[in-house]
Amino acid sequence: MKSDTLHKSKKEAETLKQPLVFIDGKFYPKSEAKVSVFDHGLLYGDGVFEGIRSYNCLVFKLKEHLVRLYESAHTLLLNIPLTKEASAKAIIETLRVNHLRDSYVRVIVTRGTGDLGLDPRKCKKPTIIIIADKIVLYPESLYKNGMDIITVPTVRNLPEAVNPSIKSLNYLNNILAKIEAVNSGYQEALMLNADGYVVECTGDNIFIVKNGILQTPPTYLGALKGITRQAIMDLAVRNDIPRQEQVLTRHDLFNADEAFLTGTAAEVIPVVKIDGRVIGDGKPGKMTQKLMSAFRDSTKKDGVKYTV
Ligand code: PMP
């Protein structure tokens, strides 16, 4: 065999081993999964996305993620050229072709290819990308012992400016906060809004427990309407845990009995220290542990089934 033929077949074999990425209706090996440099998702962060989990061949809260994706797109006047049903099928197909039973799926819809101007009307067709991969945000020890987080100077985007309820590709607000936390030696940042009220962390919603009541800030203060946040609120109802949306200050957090964060990637993660103040007895609280385990159970039962 000639060396260039050998080289070619080796390359082909390597390509065959790669994960497959869905772009606009077709699957491409990871190394060939590319979009235009003129895509406004890249040029301007003009687009929306979702992060979705599958657990043992069950896609968790698929409908809820699709509703949020389409609502975010609707607000941006971005017409996703697939029905929700077709998007659900494409997500499941991406999991199937990659033989993934447990996965983190990223669905991205960008404004599409345009020119160097901002005008979205120049982008004729949105780009739809689906990547199925794995994600590990934090080490297991943090789930056992809890996190230590810090408030950062960057405040959450104003709902009147870039509304945090839109899950857009424009994540610089969160990235700046993350950088500030990391620069100070912390893994996660607590973000306040411009009025100083607690809103959320860079990629997770926040909860506290006070006198047996589960509390989380209302999203109108400037937080994303987290799917995991809602799942926890629903589990609280099912487990007879009183829960409420409550405007919270840092003082409320410092004097909480328990605290934890929720998100698709992080799931439910206890918080034991905020800005140097120990929360409760400094260990993951009883209600937090109960909800962590109820959440893990629900991921094993609830979801849209698929086969690999
Ligand atoms: N807040 C922000 C800013 C997020 O990006 C996310 C998602 N990573 C969350 C909260 C949690 O939302 P969900 O539970 O839907 O993943």
Write the residue with the smallest CA distance to atom 10 of ligand 1. Answer: 204
Tell me the catalytic residues: 167
Best probe residue, ligand 1, of 205, 232, 233, 291 (max atoms within 8 Å of C-beta): 205
* Cβ of residue 226 lying under 6 Å from some atom of ligand 1: yes
Give DSSP secondary structure letters for 43-58: HH--EEEEEEEEETTE
pLDDT of residue 4: 57
Dist CA 158 CA 73 (whole Å) = 19
Q: What is the pLDDT of residues 162-185, one digit of tens each?
A: 999 999 999 999 999 999 999 999
pTM for the whole structure? 0.95
pLDDT the model gives residue 3: 53
Cα(10) to centroid(ligand 1), Å: 41
Lowest model confidence (mean pLDDT) among 27-36, 134-143, 149-158, 237-246: 134-143
Mean pLDDT for the stretch of residues 144-160: 98
Cα of 265 from ligand 1 centre, angstroms:
8
- Identify the residue whose tokens are 């990547």: 131
Write down all domains in the chain, each with its CATH number in brackets.
Answer: 3-135 (3.30.470.10), 140-298 (3.20.10.10)
Query: Which atom of ligand 1 sits closest to the CA of residue 68?
Result: 15
State the average pLDDT over residues 242-249: 98
User: Ligand 1 centre from 17 Cα, in Å?
Assistant: 31
pLDDT at 98 (0 to 100): 97
* Ligand 1 contacts CB of residue 203 (under 6 A): yes
Ligand 1 binding pocket includes 50 (Cβ within 6 Å): no
| pLDDT tens per residue across span 250-269 | 999 999 999 999 999 999 99
User: 174 in ligand 1 pocket by Cβ < 6 Å?
Assistant: yes
Q: Which residue has the higher pLDDT, 6 or 284?
A: 284
Q: What is the pLDDT at residue 7?
A: 62
CB 226 within 8 A of CB 233: no
State if residue 224 touches ligand 1 by the CB under 6 angstroms criterion: yes
What values do phi and psi take at 39, rounded to 5?
-70, 130
Residue pointed to by tokens 């159970």: 297
Q: What is the pLDDT confidence band of residue 87, given thresholds at 50, 70 and 90?
A: very high
For residue 137, the model assigns a pLDDT of 82
pLDDT band of 209, cuts 50, 70, 90: very high
C-beta 204 within 6 A of ligand 1: yes
CA distance 229 to 207: 8
The Cα–Cα gap between 142 and 136 comes to: 12
Residue identifier of the C-alpha nearest atom 3 of ligand 1 = 203
Mean of pLDDT values over 183-198? 98
Cβ neighbours of residue 146 closer than 8 Å, sequence gap 6 or more: 269, 270, 271, 272, 273, 282, 283, 284
Give the pLDDT mean for 50-55.
98
Please report the pLDDT score of residue 194 as a whole number.
98
Find the helix or strand (DSSP H, E) in which 69 lies: helix 62-75
Q: How far apart are CA 14 and CA 191, in angstroms?
A: 43
pLDDT of residue 136: 87
